[in-house]
Amino acid sequence: MQYAALGAARVEVSRLCLGTMNLGSRATPEESHAILDTALEAGINYVDTANTYGSPGRPGIAESIIGDWFARGGDRRERTVLATKLFEPTADWPNHGGLSALNIRRACDASLLRLQTDHIDVLQMHHIDRAARWDEIWEAFDVLRRQGKIIYAGSSNFAGWNLAVAQGAARDRGNLGLVSEQSVYNLAQRTVELEVLPAAEHLGIGVVAWSPLAGGLLAGTPTGHQGRRTDPGETVRRDQHRGQIDATADIAGDLGTTTAQLALAWLLTRPAVVAPVVGPRTVEQLCGLLPAIDLVLSSDVLAALDRVWPGPGGQAPEAYAW
């Protein structure tokens, strides 16, 4: 496994991040613990979750499964850089969502109970809250840090200018601010190259790419697979991108690798990207992704992928002006 600093922070995280959206929904607790154990054995020390991940009617179940895994001992908690998220409503009642100081405190305490730990390494804002003032948000995070409940702050689904405003407000308070930003980023979705990646790189924020396989579009079609890619909507989407998918598979075949490994390896070459988030449903799926870490892509391969999956044209404003 390879490791990198998380943005401007000194903490080192694995260059594959284990996403846990499937824990408790598509994977049983026993299967989930096997995935977590396999990831740790492979050197993955970076685990990402959220306070709403779970099955219908059971939000937070993924955190509870991780908490039970920590409780099994074996230095599981000590060897893990734990990231979780808050923002989405956890109850049909005021102040159970968003980034008010009240909800930040409430959500953090609830996550700590489910996770069976005394602190969260990276507490992330799952979305920008346009109604919340940054002085309120950062004050709430400062209180949690003084209480020893969190160490770092991160964001997710922020625009480039959101990152700039957040970081400016944090530094006005003398704080480190954001160390990470989770953005949707993959070969088929490259909008973040316009402003989010340049902003993150300039501001010392590590980018963590979610949906690195474009919701299964770049996952390949293993025999006997059942799930997302058998949905009618997914079939239509794959048909729309059939030429690009086949061309990517050809490039992967020439390299002796898989489409999924190629897609992950491509992300690891991108500016400011620390790690893609992989969310396997089985141990076998996880093991099939791990070789991406050692895959080295030449400039010719990168150029070929750009031709198949053209991005927005580079950074703004040069992408659309001069």
From the CB of residue 248, how many other CB atoms can be counted at a distance below 10 Å?
24
- Evaluated on CA atoms 182, 185, 191, 193, the torsion sign reads positive
Which structure tokens are listed for 113? 């109970």
Strand partners, 266: none
Q: What are phi and psi of 288, to 5 degrees?
A: -75, -15
| 53 classed as catalytic | yes
d(CA 140, CA 180): 18
Helices 299-308 and 242-255: angle between axes, nearest 10 degrees: 170
Taking the C-alpha atoms of 279, 280, 283 and 285 in order, what is their torsion angle to the nearest 10 degrees?
-130
Q: What are phi and psi of 123, to 5 degrees?
A: -95, 120
Residue showing tokens 């009618």: 232
From the list 46, 53, 152, 185, the catalytic residue is: 53
Catalytic residues, which ones? 53
